[in-house]
């Protein structure tokens, strides 16, 4: 009897510690660079994995891809049927720029200073409005009404925000350096901070995957990680995410500061 009591106590303590470690963190999966010439085998494989877990990702769709690096398979004439099918089953379709073509830019001129290239940042408001309008025309032609903006290479500036407001009804941006969604300048940001699944006890984490660039080994590894009990019931969509809006979160501000310091140090090391 005493042994059973100790076993019961130990089991209760173990479960309590596990729940603390698991925390109340939530995750969003984002798939970038969907287009007519994407690697269909990899996208189909990932779609099957996500469907098996009932995970509804954000899919960043390029309206008129001209990026040679993304011309992998022959152009799929049924691509927009695929996009509409994604939407029907609850996947969230995001406007991912226009042509996915880049020009060089200084990191400091962007809202998210990750890369020195952009399709939008540093251009005039009028030029950015034209790109967004042309992208939306293609979406509308194919009966897709995007509610989310995803900038190619995370690269956009304050003029991009104005252009989005002037040309669309989009109010959500999948990007930002924070631990929880926040609002700024009339837009709601759902932070995107990860490029692989990682275990955290708190925060809302968007994991950005680029299926076209992933190996099958990486895709299988992703599937295996999804099966970890830690991630059970942790995946949400943008509607649930924005219910946890925290504009003045101190921990989010600390996270952003540390992230920017990390980028700065990395840049200094590269230059040296």
**CB 46, CB 30: distance < 8 Å:** no
pLDDT surpassing 90 at residue 248? no
**CB 120, CB 87: distance < 8 Å:** no
Residue 106 has a pLDDT of 87
Q: Who's near 119: CB < 8 A, 6+ residues apart?
A: 97, 98, 99, 100, 101, 102, 103, 131, 151, 152, 153, 155
Model confidence pLDDT, tens digit, residues 134-165: 999 999 999 999 999 999 999 999 999 999 99
Residue 242 has a pLDDT of 95
Residue 260 has a pLDDT of 85
Residue 3 has a pLDDT of 67
- What confidence category does residue 259 fall into, taking pLDDT thresholds of 50, 70 and 90? confident
Measured between alpha carbons, how far is 148 from 60 in angstroms, rounded to an integer? 9
Cα-atom radius of gyration of the chain, to the nearest Å?
20
- Please tell me whether residue 189 adopts helix, strand or coil conformation: strand
- Please tell me whether residue 183 adopts helix, strand or coil conformation: strand
Residue 251 has a pLDDT of 86
Mean pLDDT of the chain: 92
- What confidence category does residue 249 fall into, taking pLDDT thresholds of 50, 70 and 90? confident
Measured between alpha carbons, how far is 57 from 91 in angstroms, rounded to an integer? 5
Model confidence pLDDT, tens digit, residues 114-135: 889 999 999 999 999 999 999 9
Residue 59 has a pLDDT of 98
Residue 263 has a pLDDT of 81
Model confidence pLDDT, tens digit, residues 206-216: 999 999 999 99
Model confidence pLDDT, tens digit, residues 158-180: 999 999 999 999 999 999 999 99
Residue 10 has a pLDDT of 58
Model confidence pLDDT, tens digit, residues 71-115: 999 999 999 999 999 999 999 999 999 999 999 998 877 899 888
Residue 197 has a pLDDT of 96
pLDDT surpassing 60 at residue 222? yes
């Amino acid at each position: 009897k005493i042994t059973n009591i100790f076993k019961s106590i130990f089991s209760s303590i173990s479960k309590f510690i596990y729940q603390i470690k698991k925390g109340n963190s939530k995750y969003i999966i984002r798939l970038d660079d969907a287009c007519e010439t994407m690697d269909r085998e990899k996208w189909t494989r990932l779609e099957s994995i996500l469907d098996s877990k009932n995970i509804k990702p954000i899919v960043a769709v390029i309206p008129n891809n001209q990026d040679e690096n993304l011309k992998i398979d022959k152009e799929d004439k049924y691509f927009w049927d695929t996009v509409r099918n994604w939407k029907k089953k609850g996947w969230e379709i995001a406007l991912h720029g226009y042509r996915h073509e880049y020009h060089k830019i200084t990191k400091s001129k962007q809202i998210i200073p990750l890369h020195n290239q952009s399709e939008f940042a540093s251009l005039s408001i009028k030029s950015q409005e034209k790109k967004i309008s042309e992208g939306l025309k293609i979406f509308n032609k194919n009966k897709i009404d995007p509610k989310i903006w995803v900038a190619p290479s995370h690269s956009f500036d304050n003029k991009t925000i104005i252009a989005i407001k002037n040309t669309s009804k989009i109010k959500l941006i999948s990007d930002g350096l924070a631990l929880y969604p926040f609002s700024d300048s009339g837009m709601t940001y759902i932070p995107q901070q990860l490029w692989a699944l990682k275990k955290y006890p708190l925060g809302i984490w968007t994991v950005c995957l680029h299926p076209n660039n992933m190996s099958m080994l990486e895709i299988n590894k992703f599937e295996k990680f999804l099966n970890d009990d830690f991630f059970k019931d942790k995946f949400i969509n943008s509607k649930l995410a924005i219910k946890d809006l925290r504009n003045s979160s101190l921990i989010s501000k600390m996270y952003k500061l540390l992230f920017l310091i990390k980028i700065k140090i990395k840049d200094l090391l590269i230059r040296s």
